[in-house]
Amino acid sequence: MTPFSWEAGLLPLVLGGTALYKFKKSQSRTMSSPVVLCHSALICLWGAYCFSSLSVFWAWTLFSLACCISLAYSTSQEMLPVDGRAVLITGGDSGIGHALSKYLDELGFTVFVGVLNENGPGAEVLKKTCSKRTSVVQMDITNPDQIKEVQAQIAEKVQHTGLWAVVNNAGVLGTVGDGELLPMNIYRQCMDVNFFGAVEVTKAFLPLLRKSRGRFINVSSMAGAVPMKLYAAYSSSKAALTMFSGVMRLELKKWGIKVALIHPSGFRTNIGGTKELWMKQEKDILENMSPDVLEAYGRDYLRSSTWPSLQYFSKMPSDFSPLFTDVLHGILCKNPSALYTAGVFSYLWICLLSYFPVSVFDYVANKIFHSNTLPKALT
């Protein structure tokens, strides 16, 4: 080989080795070991293919290019330090918001937890178990006055460090049942909390995030991305939040504010309510159902079609760690993803709806969420 050929081959060699080293070092700070190993394995396989099929020069060139692309991606995925960054979480009374507040407190964040009842059991637990960095504040997100009050309190406390992130987590399930059977007040309740509440919080805290060039993390639901039977009110409100997040992501980019959307699959929380609550909701629906609809569905249909969902809620995974990993990545990553799908099979549902004919999605959904119960008029 001529001296020129050696020099031409040496440059990609040095570049490829350096990029691979920096890539592995960068990824080890931002990703779990299995992910790092997977990325490294893919690069190695690509290198093996290049060297077995191409000349030395082109093999090193393409291998180096792959390493540089991976390095550029991994650099954008680097995590910022916690450094006491301030985060507001809504819906901290119980469930995901409650556990997330404890998790971020343990990591060293300054946490403001908005709760529906500051004297309730969930709020008291947070006050006792979290550090002094965590403040529990009364904030019903359907009450604009309370939101403004909390905004003023937080602005006073973080005037030097700024508010880094807002996690719009608060949400309600409403009532489970066929869309025709749900009273309009259930639709309004879901929209008030799951959509309008999140919008109100976003608008109120935008000035604080504009100063810090921080980010919004909106916790939607898989039901807001794919249609699910019996969840008409809940799904519609979460779908509205999903679209709002996308629009705000585009609009707030000019301010340096990032918006991340999370579509969790099912996790075991108390959002489903209790057996007593379901009995009350069932009674309310039957009492407000028009005679012709009641005749078509029958009095027994509602319970036999919806109550299996109560058992479904109890069987959901109670480990929030996949969700917390995504939330943390959205809060601290230099370039967070626009969409996170936390939980088992969550992304597969979106793929099924997006890339397959609707008939295929409908068939799979009806098979998985199959019910032997039919309305009275169809039996």
Q: What is the pLDDT of residue 153?
A: 96
CATH code linked to domain 86-368? 3.40.50.720
Structure token digits, residue 200: 């109100």
Strand-pair partners of 219: 262
Check: CB of residue 216 under 8 Å from CB of residue 168. yes
| DSSP type of residue 289 | S
Q: What is the pLDDT of residue 165?
A: 98
The residue among 93, 39, 225, 265 whose CA lies nearest residue 101 is 93
| pTM confidence score | 0.81
Structure token digits, residue 103: 């998790």
Q: What is the pLDDT of residue 304?
A: 84
Report H helices in the chain: 3-30, 33-53, 56-76, 95-107, 121-129, 144-157, 184-190, 198-212, 232-251, 275-288, 291-297, 301-314, 321-332, 346-355, 358-368
Whole-number Å distance between alpha carbons of 159 and 166: 16
Taking 80 as the threshold, does the pLDDT of residue 272 lie above it? no
Structure token digits, residue 323: 């969700």
- Quick one: CA torsion of 243, 246, 247, 249, rounded to 10 degrees? 150
Check: CB of residue 307 under 8 Å from CB of residue 230. no
pLDDT band at residue 268, thresholds of 50, 70 and 90? confident
Catalytic-residue membership of 234: yes
Q: Which residues contact 199 (CB under 8 A, 6 or more apart)?
A: 244
Sequential DSSP letters for 140-197: -TT-HHHHHHHHHHHHHHTTTT-EEEEEE--------B-TTTS-HHHHHHHIIIIIII
Whole-number Å distance between alpha carbons of 105 and 87: 10
Q: Could you say which of 103, 231, 234, 297 is catalytic?
A: 234
**pLDDT, mean of residues 244-268:** 94
Query: 234-247: per-residue pLDDT in tens?
Result: 999 999 999 999 99
Check: CB of residue 262 under 8 Å from CB of residue 340. yes
Whole-number Å distance between alpha carbons of 110 and 292: 55
Query: 334-363: per-residue pLDDT in tens?
Result: 999 999 988 777 778 888 888 899 999 899
The residue among 108, 103, 105, 102 whose CA lies nearest residue 82 is 108
Give the total residue count for the chain.
Answer: 379
Check: CB of residue 125 under 8 Å from CB of residue 161. no
Q: What is the pLDDT of residue 164?
A: 97
236: left (phi over 0), alpha (psi -120 to 50) or beta: alpha
Taking 60 as the threshold, does the pLDDT of residue 69 lie above it? yes
Query: 195-208: per-residue pLDDT in tens?
Result: 999 999 999 999 99
